[in-house]
Amino acid sequence: MRQSLLKSASQLLRRSRRDYSSAAAAGQPERKVAILGAAGGIGQPLALLMKLNPLVSSLSLYDIAGTPGVAADVSHINAPALVKGFVGEEQLGDALEGSDVVIIPAGVPRKPGMTRDDLFNINAGIVKGLCSAISKYCPNAVVNMISNPVNSTVPIAAEVFKKTGTYDEKKLFGVTTLDVVRAKTFYAGKANVPVTEVNVPVVGGHAGITILPLFSQATPASNALSHEDIKALTKRTQDGGTEVVEAKAGKGSATLSMAYAGAVFADACLKGLNGVPDVVECSFVQSTVTDLPFFASKVRLGKNGVEEVLGLGQLSDFEKEGLENLKGELKSSIEKGIQFAHAN
């Protein structure tokens, strides 16, 4: 077992170096990525994964404490990205300046019994302050919002950017990739298909019933799943965060899988910025797909961020019902974020 793990890791590292060499030879642009909240449970593994990304030339790690140690640790990894740590509000500007992509996992995690809305009062203020700094020091950066509740923090960010005249709806993303990752994993297990070949769009929002996996559009398609199976898979995807919080018994939330999902989405953004064609991921963005101002759906990424917000496609009756059921809660969460931004 140990030898096979070492062999897999070795192959991964060799592939990473090969990808970097190819990209460098092709004249790949230098890209700076900043992680705000880099010393936290999501931030640390996310920093590790972004250090390994061959598209990153500069990695800026910021938090209110602990980042010098995280930066020193990550900087020892033999991957090309130059790593710098920044700590405290007085260093936030230096952390952000020149960033192409800013990833925000900052804030407090969920604990047993907490909903994402319970996090609102703390995380909303943190997000507002960080977005004010982004608008000042790197107003053209692509912003990947991980801090929960995403259904509210993305609208908060939008309002902050509007106030400062820096809002570009093409460059603000709520990271819902973990919902997609879970839907793929759970579907593959139930349909008995290879998980690496699975794709499942997930639309709506990023909390509870607002998460709507479209298993009718899953590929490869499976005839083995009953209506009850689909209902159970949908519920498990919606409750995936709670499943991890309860399993960790008060000692954490979904940090490792969220870091992975955040790295996947950031990689997609970098590829889009670099002009790689047909990069499509689900994300919570400003949208006209429904009557709500923000909505998660498939998005084509490009050199300016959002190239195209794609429609929902054909839905099953169960999914149509889920879509109608989620709208009230999602609308309320969006409005809560907007009201917070204006009231504070």
Active site residues: 206
DSSP-assigned letters across all residues of 185-202 = HHHHHHHT--GGG-B--E
Number of helices (H) and strands (E), helices first, in the chain? 11, 11
DSSP-assigned letters across all residues of 32-83 = EEEEETTTSTTHHHHHHHHHT-TT-SEEEEEESSSHHHHHHHHHTSSSS-EE
Q: Whole-angstrom Cα distance, residue 53 to residue 67?
A: 20
212 burial (CB, 10 Å; 0-12 / 13-18 / 19+) is buried
* Nearest to 142, CA basis, from 192, 116, 104, 178: 104
| Tokens (6 digits) for 187 | 């579907």
